[in-house]
């Protein structure tokens, strides 16, 4: 029976307004029905494509009022979207007679269905009782058969026992006869062995007599032949003869190596010839040296004769061949001579450094020429100019010896070279300047700088600069810097943050607070003092020193939602970081609002409301035509990859999309609509996934991820969704969305729509194939299990219910725990199964196996609850797929000690399991982790805030 739907009525309360949102589903682009609630305010009626006034606002709708029920409204919506959301305000519902009639009709239908079900249940019980009687008769017949079989088995067993006893007597008789035969055979063997031993003794004596006679015959033969044997050369005499012969011949015995020639034949005679085995060469002593005369038919090679190489020559040859190379600078090497190398060696040995390098660097060819000329001139003692004494004249020169002259001159201001022909006084001035600079240079402890010092000085010279605010910087003192260092980052002027604080003893207390806030320079009823906004998109609210609500105005080119002048309010909903703009359209009516959060640094999209007269002709964006009431749709075949099969996807994962936020600290929300191809049918499951997450609120922290799933069509019971954090760094956060297919679906997700914020990127992976496991490099932060079941083994369940009455749902209905979910199937006769009671199950438990020709499976997971049990007992695992009644474990759980003493702590440390692992009672703000509070002892000078209590005029700057 289909369950009736009743919407909760809203009571009318004076001054109370209800805001209602209805989710509607359009068929063929049209929806028509009564609104769920009465007495709506039509001015607040709006239709959007998204919940909570989000998405696109729809204007293609009409509202009509039934003539007999003016408090009701019938809405008709035209749109090419599957789902829309209606929002309106109402002061409450009107309950009429039709409402009571519908409830009464539903109650009557329910009573009729209940009566029908009661009659059907009684009939079923009667049928089951008949089946039970039949089963009892069958069981008794089976027991009789078993008794007869047991009697026959006892008779057979006794006969078998008698046969075994007879066989044992026969075996004993056979064994005794065998033992007697073995005893007789042993006595015969002893007699035979003694006769054999006597025969062997006689044979030994005969052989001993024969051997004695043979020895005697040998002694006689030796005695007769000994004189002949004594007349022969001894072994030593033969060796001496051979040695003498060997010494007399030139060919000597071969040696192993050439080196053995000197040790084996230390004093050879001329002509001796010896072969060396390792080289197979033959050497002859020439009187002074061993000369190779043969290499076994191939002579030894010399500089003039071809032949074999010796092993020493071959080694030298191989070494020279391996060291062969070609010089790329051969033409240069060819020019090297012994003289050139000698000069280079001499130059290298004479290398040195000059301590007066800077002075030597100043020497030029001109200076050398001048010095050479001067040296030649002064070396000429024969009056090279031919000046006579009369020509000089005593009046033209000092009348003193040359060494006693006292020249006068003026020292030059800069270093310059001497010039031929210039006056001596000028030359002496230049020389004096050079000598003075040289003396200063010699007196300097650091006469030369390093290349690093020169680089640092040049860098410092390049970075030299001047400050335009030098006069201000010159007044900065260390005391000011110390004061600034003591002020915490982000510290504000010491004014009480709470307007309502009445701590008059505090030096931050605000006195003379007015009861109301007058507008600065005007009244609040005029817009002449409103903030003029040139561009709503670039307007920066934190830069406006405004109160909680500030009037604003803008021209027609300020990027408002309409090409009109606008006026409205700037609302500061949070003292630090939240602002909202509410503006009104000046010409045709309507209003809009948008929000700004300092953390994101940008304005959100406009949310727009406008008036609509309800006429169909006033609608915009209407479809040009509508499909007829009777029409058909062509089903689109789902996209299936070639590797997908009905049996390969169950339990696997598919990557749907990748979302990347490029801001370090930001929020993001996504709404995805997707299609999951069904297995073997023409229908598809249609889903909406809502994904919201905040990136890290602190660098290195995991982001907060929230994922929810709603079904727009069929209920999805065989999929799971996961979000995995792929990358997390200071620049961006990237997460991926995955789905796990729990049954044999043929395709992965196909995305149809998605919304993305500016600056973010979304990558889709439609039909990208399936993998066995989720990636192990990322962090799984959120998941939604649509399968409606837990994956636990039977052994993990310790509180399994023992009867249906222990469930909290309606009596007489099965729950998911009673169904074997591993088979993943649905029952076509669900309405029949829903009527099964515990009494029926108890009756069925007593029916013997095979009753009514039904064979129930006995494998694990298909066994029934066992009989027996008493109050307080539970089912416990007994074998694979089998449970037995037993008392619950008596052992109680003892929570482990965390190591923290009992007591009251103002600051505690909690681990990942939520357990307190440490506790302290700080006595300072720093102990609580507060680092931005002002010091207990601090001053207020006139730069920041005057000392003492503040007045309202102080805050206004009067």
Q: What does the pLDDT look like over 389-399, one tens digit per residue?
A: 666 666 666 77
How far is residue 695's CA from residue 731's CA, in Å, rounded to a whole number? 11
Residue 840 φ then ψ, to 5°: -60, -45
pLDDT band at 467 (very low <50, low <70, confident <90, very high): confident
**Residue 593: closest CA among 603, 579, 583, 578:** 583
**Contact call for residues 435 and 415 (beta carbons, < 8 A):** no
Q: What Cα–Cα distance (Å) separates residue 644 from each residue in 394, 455, 502, 558, 729? A: 127, 69, 73, 54, 36
**Would the pLDDT of 82 be above 50?**
yes
Token pair of 867 as six digits: 């009989």
Q: Is the residue at 670 inside a domain?
A: yes
So what's the pLDDT on residue 788? 45
Domain boundary, last residue among 317, 342, 360 = 317
Token pair of 463 as six digits: 């970075």
**Residue 667: closest CA among 709, 699, 696, 632:** 696
Token pair of 880 as six digits: 């694979």
Least confident of 5-14, 554-563, 829-838: 829-838
Residues in the chain: 958
Name 627's Cβ contacts closer than 8 Å, sequence gap at least 6: 28, 29
How far is residue 446's CA from residue 65's CA, in Å, rounded to a whole number? 105
Largest CA distance in the chain: 179
Please give the mean pLDDT across all residues of the chain. Answer: 74
Domain boundary, last residue among 95, 120, 136 = 95
Q: Is the residue at 371 inside a domain?
A: no
**Cβ atoms within 10 Å of 273's Cβ, excluding its own:** 16
**Contact call for residues 805 and 811 (beta carbons, < 8 A):** yes
Least confident of 636-645, 718-727, 750-759: 636-645
**Would the pLDDT of 87 be above 90?**
yes
**Section 317-323 average pLDDT:** 82
pLDDT band at 932 (very low <50, low <70, confident <90, very high): low
pLDDT band at 682 (very low <50, low <70, confident <90, very high): very low
So what's the pLDDT on residue 758? 52
**Section 226-233 average pLDDT:** 70
Least confident of 81-85, 843-847, 922-926: 843-847
- Residue tagged 């010699």 (tokens): 442
Q: Is the residue at 80 inside a domain?
A: yes
**Section 622-649 average pLDDT:** 49
Comparing 632 with 585, the larger pLDDT belongs to: 585
What domain count does the chain have?
5
So what's the pLDDT on residue 675? 56
pLDDT in tens, 564-618: 778 888 887 666 677 888 888 766 667 788 888 777 778 888 887 765 555 666 6
Comparing 951 with 886, the larger pLDDT belongs to: 886
668 lies in the same domain as 762: yes
pLDDT band at 76 (very low <50, low <70, confident <90, very high): very high
Q: Is the residue at 863 inside a domain?
A: no
**Would the pLDDT of 786 be above 60?**
no
**Would the pLDDT of 30 be above 90?**
yes
How far is residue 520's CA from residue 892's CA, in Å, rounded to a whole number? 72
pLDDT in tens, 199-220: 888 888 888 888 888 888 888 8
Per-position DSSP letters for 348-368, written without gaps between them: HHT----TTHHHHHT--HHHH
758 lies in the same domain as 696: yes
pLDDT band at 89 (very low <50, low <70, confident <90, very high): very high
Name 386's Cβ contacts closer than 8 Å, sequence gap at least 6: none
So what's the pLDDT on residue 644? 37
613 lies in the same domain as 662: no
507 lies in the same domain as 599: no
> For 44-70, b where at least 16 C-beta lie within 10 A, e where not — what string?
ebbbbeebeeebebbbbbeeeeeeeee
So what's the pLDDT on residue 395? 64
Is residue 774 classed exposed, middle or buried when 0-12, 13-18 and 19+ CB atoms within 10 A define those classes? Answer: middle
Paired with 574 in beta bridges are 578
pLDDT band at 475 (very low <50, low <70, confident <90, very high): confident
**Would the pLDDT of 108 be above 80?**
yes
- Residue tagged 């409103």 (tokens): 530
**Cβ atoms within 10 Å of 735's Cβ, excluding its own:** 26
First to last CA, the chain: 79
- Strand order of the β-sheet with 83-90 is 18-25, 83-90, 40-50, 54-58
74-78 and 61-64 strand pairing: antiparallel
pLDDT > 90: what percent of the chain? 8
Half-sphere exposure of 764 (CA within 13 A, CB side): 14
How far is residue 869's CA from residue 274's CA, in Å, rounded to a whole number? 114
3-state SS class at 908: strand
> For 390-414, b where at least 16 C-beta lie within 10 A, e where not — what string?
eeeeeeeeeeeeeeeeeeeeeebee
Question: Which DSSP category does 950 fall into?
Answer: B
604 lies in the same domain as 669: no
Token pair of 723 as six digits: 């979000």
So what's the pLDDT on residue 927? 75
**Residue 686: closest CA among 726, 650, 652, 713:** 713
**Would the pLDDT of 226 be above 80?**
no
So what's the pLDDT on residue 564? 75
Q: Is the residue at 250 inside a domain?
A: yes
585 lies in the same domain as 665: no
907-910 and 18-25 strand pairing: unpaired
Task: Find which of 85-94, 133-142, 220-229, 685-694 is predicted with most confidence, using mean pLDDT.
Answer: 85-94
**Would the pLDDT of 289 be above 70?**
yes
3-state helix, strand, coil in the chain (%, to 5): 30, 20, 50
How far is residue 241's CA from residue 232's CA, in Å, rounded to a whole number? 14
Least confident of 40-44, 556-560, 774-778, 952-956: 952-956
**Section 304-332 average pLDDT:** 78
Element (H, E) at 164: helix 97-230
How far is residue 667's CA from residue 694's CA, in Å, rounded to a whole number? 4
3-state SS class at 780: strand
Q: Is the residue at 667 inside a domain?
A: yes
Comparing 336 with 847, the larger pLDDT belongs to: 336
Comparing 801 with 309, the larger pLDDT belongs to: 309
Query: For residue 260, what are the domain limits?
Result: 237-317
659 lies in the same domain as 753: yes
Q: Is the residue at 548 inside a domain?
A: yes
Residue 189 φ then ψ, to 5°: -70, -35
Name 300's Cβ contacts closer than 8 Å, sequence gap at least 6: 281, 292, 307, 308, 309, 310
**Would the pLDDT of 802 be above 80?**
no
pLDDT band at 321 (very low <50, low <70, confident <90, very high): confident
So what's the pLDDT on residue 79? 92
**Would the pLDDT of 338 be above 70?**
yes
769 lies in the same domain as 673: yes
How far is residue 647's CA from residue 746's CA, in Å, rounded to a whole number? 9
**Section 105-132 average pLDDT:** 85
**Would the pLDDT of 1 be above 90?**
no
**Contact call for residues 444 and 463 (beta carbons, < 8 A):** no
690 lies in the same domain as 662: yes
**Strand runs labelled E in 748-839:** 750-753, 760-764, 779-785
How far is residue 77's CA from residue 60's CA, in Å, rounded to a whole number? 6
Domain boundary, last residue among 71, 95, 119 = 95
606 lies in the same domain as 505: no
**Would the pLDDT of 684 be above 60?**
no
Question: Which DSSP category does 921 fall into?
Answer: -
675 lies in the same domain as 769: yes
Per-position DSSP letters for 830-853, written without gaps between them: HHHHTT--HHHHHHHHTSPTTGGG
Per-position DSSP letters for 579-594, written without gaps between them: EEEEEEESSS--EEEE
**Section 834-856 average pLDDT:** 60
Helices and strands: H and E segment counts in the chain: 16, 30
**Cβ atoms within 10 Å of 600's Cβ, excluding its own:** 16
How far is residue 116's CA from residue 124's CA, in Å, rounded to a whole number? 12
To the nearest 10 degrees (0 to 180), the angle between helices 838-845 and 97-230 is: 40
What is the rounded (10 degree) CA torsion for 159, 164, 165, 170?
A: 130
So what's the pLDDT on residue 917? 83
**Would the pLDDT of 707 be above 90?**
no
**Contact call for residues 268 and 251 (beta carbons, < 8 A):** no
pLDDT in tens, 163-193: 888 888 888 888 888 888 888 888 888 888 8
**Residue 125: closest CA among 830, 951, 842, 703:** 842
So what's the pLDDT on residue 44? 92
**Residue 579: closest CA among 607, 605, 542, 554:** 542
So what's the pLDDT on residue 791? 44
559 lies in the same domain as 678: no
Comparing 261 with 221, the larger pLDDT belongs to: 261
So what's the pLDDT on residue 643? 38
**Would the pLDDT of 705 be above 60?**
yes
Paired with 77 in beta bridges are 31, 61
So what's the pLDDT on residue 640? 36
**Would the pLDDT of 641 be above 50?**
no
Q: Is the residue at 188 inside a domain?
A: no
């Amino acid at each position: 029976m289909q369950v009736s739907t009743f919407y909760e009525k809203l009571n009318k309360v004076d001054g109370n307004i209800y805001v209602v949102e209805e989710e509607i589903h359009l068929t063929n682009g049209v929806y028509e029905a009564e609104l769920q609630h009465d007495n709506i305010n039509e001015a607040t009626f709006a239709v959007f494509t998204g919940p909570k006034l989000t998405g696109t606002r729809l204007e293609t709708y009409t509202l009509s009022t039934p003539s007999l029920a003016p408090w009701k409204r019938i809405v008709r919506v035209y749109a090419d979207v599957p789902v829309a959301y209606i929002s309106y305000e109402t002061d409450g519902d009107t309950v009429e007679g039709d409402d009571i009639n519908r409830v009464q009709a539903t109650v009557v239908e329910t009573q009729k269905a209940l009566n029908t079900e009661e009659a059907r249940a009684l009939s079923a019980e009667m049928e089951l009782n008949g089946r039970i009687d039949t089963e009892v008769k069958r069981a008794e017949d089976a027991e009789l058969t078993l008794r007869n079989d047991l009697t026959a088995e006892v008779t057979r067993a006794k006969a078998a026992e008698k046969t075994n006893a007879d066989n044992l007597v026969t075996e004993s008789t056979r064994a005794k006869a065998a033992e007697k035969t073995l005893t007789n055979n042993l006595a015969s063997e002893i007699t035979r062995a003694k006769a054999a031993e006597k025969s062997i003794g006689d044979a030994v004596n005969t052989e001993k007599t024969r051997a004695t006679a043979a020895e005697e015959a040998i002694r006689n033969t030796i005695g007769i032949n000994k004189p002949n044997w004594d007349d022969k050369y001894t072994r030593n005499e033969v060796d001496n003869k051979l040695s003498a012969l060997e010494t007399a011949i030139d060919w000597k015995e071969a040696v192993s190596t050439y080196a053995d020639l000197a040790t084996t034949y230390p004093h050879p005679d001329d002509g001796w010839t010896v072969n060396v085995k390792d080289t197979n060469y033959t050497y002859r002593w020439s009187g002074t040296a061993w000369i190779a005369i043969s290499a076994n038919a191939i002579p030894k090679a010399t500089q003039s004769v071809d032949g074999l190489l010796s092993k020493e020559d071959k080694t030298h040859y191989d070494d020279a061949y391996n060291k062969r190379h070609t010089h790329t600078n051969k033409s240069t090497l060819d020019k090297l001579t012994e003289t050139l190398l000698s000069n280079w060696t001499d130059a290298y040995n004479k290398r040195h450094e000059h301590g007066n390098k800077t002075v030597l660097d100043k020497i030029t060819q001109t200076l050398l020429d001048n010095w050479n000329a001067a040296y030649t001139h002064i070396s000429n003692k024969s009056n090279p100019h031919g000046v006579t004494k009369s020509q000089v004249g005593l009046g033209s020169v000092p009348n003193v010896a040359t060494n006693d002259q006292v020249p006068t001159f003026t020292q030059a201001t800069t270093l310059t070279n001497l010039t031929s022909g210039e006056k001596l006084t000028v030359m002496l001035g230049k020389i004096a300047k050079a000598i003075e600079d040289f003396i200063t240079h010699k007196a300097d402890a650091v006469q030369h700088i390093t290349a690093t010092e020169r680089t640092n000085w040049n860098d410092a010279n390049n970075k030299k600069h001047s400050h335009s605010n030098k006069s201000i910087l010159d007044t900065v003192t260390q005391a000011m810097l110390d004061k600034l260092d003591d002020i915490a980052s982000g510290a504000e002027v010491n004014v009480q943050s709470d307007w309502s604080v009445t701590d008059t003893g505090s030096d931050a207390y605000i006195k003379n607070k007015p009861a109301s806030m007058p507008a600065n320079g005007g009244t609040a009823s005029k817009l002449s003092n409103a903030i003029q906004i040139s561009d709503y998109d670039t307007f920066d609210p934190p830069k406006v020193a405004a109160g909680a609500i500030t009037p604003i105005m803008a021209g027609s080119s300020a990027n408002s939602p309409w090409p009109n002048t606008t006026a409205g309010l700037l609302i500061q909903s949070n003292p630090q970081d939240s602002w909202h703009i509410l503006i009104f359209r000046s010409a045709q009516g309507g209003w809009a609002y948008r929000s700004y959060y300092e953390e994101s640094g940008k304005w959100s999209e406009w949310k727009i409301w406008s008036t609509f007269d309800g006429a169909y002709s006033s609608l915009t964006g209407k479809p040009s035509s509508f499909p007829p009431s009777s029409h058909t749709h062509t089903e689109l075949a789902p996209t299936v990859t070639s590797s997908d099969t009905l049996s390969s996807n169950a339990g696997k994962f598919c990557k749907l999309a990748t979302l990347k936020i490029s801001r370090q600290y930001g929020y993001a929300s996504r709404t995805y609509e997707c299609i999951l191809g069904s297995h073997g049918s023409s229908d598809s499951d249609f889903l909406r996934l809502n994904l919201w997450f905040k990136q890290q609120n602190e660098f290195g922290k995991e982001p907060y991820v929230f994922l929810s799933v709603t079904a727009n069509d069929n209920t999805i019971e065989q999929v799971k969704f996961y979000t995995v954090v792929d990358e997390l760094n200071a620049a961006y956060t990237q997460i991926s969305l995955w789905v796990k297919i729990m049954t044999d679906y043929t395709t992965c997700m196909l995305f149809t729509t998605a919304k993305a914020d500016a600056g973010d990127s979304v990558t889709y992976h439609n039909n990208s194939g399936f993998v066995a496991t989720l990636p192990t490099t990322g962090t799984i932060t959120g998941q939604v299990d649509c399968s409606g079941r837990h994956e636990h083994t039977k052994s993990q369940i310790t509180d399994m219910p023992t009867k249906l009455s222990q469930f909290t749902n309606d009596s007489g209905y099965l729950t998911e725990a009673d169904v074997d979910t591993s088979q993943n199937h649905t029952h076509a006769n669900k309405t029949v199964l829903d009527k099964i009671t515990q009494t029926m199950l108890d009756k069925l438990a007593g029916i013997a196996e095979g009753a009514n020709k039904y064979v129930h499976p006995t494998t694990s997971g298909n066994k029934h609850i066992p009989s027996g049990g008493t109050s307080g007992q539970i089912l416990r695992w007994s074998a694979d797929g089998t449970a037995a009644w037993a008392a619950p474990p008596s052992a109680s759980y003892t929570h482990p000690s965390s190591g923290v003493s009992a007591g009251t702590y103002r600051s505690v440390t909690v681990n990942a399991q939520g357990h307190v692992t440490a506790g302290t009672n700080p006595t300072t703000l720093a102990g609580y982790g507060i680092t931005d509070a002002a010091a207990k002892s601090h001053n207020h000078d006139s730069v920041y805030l005057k000392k003492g209590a503040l007045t309202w005029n102080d805050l206004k700057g009067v």
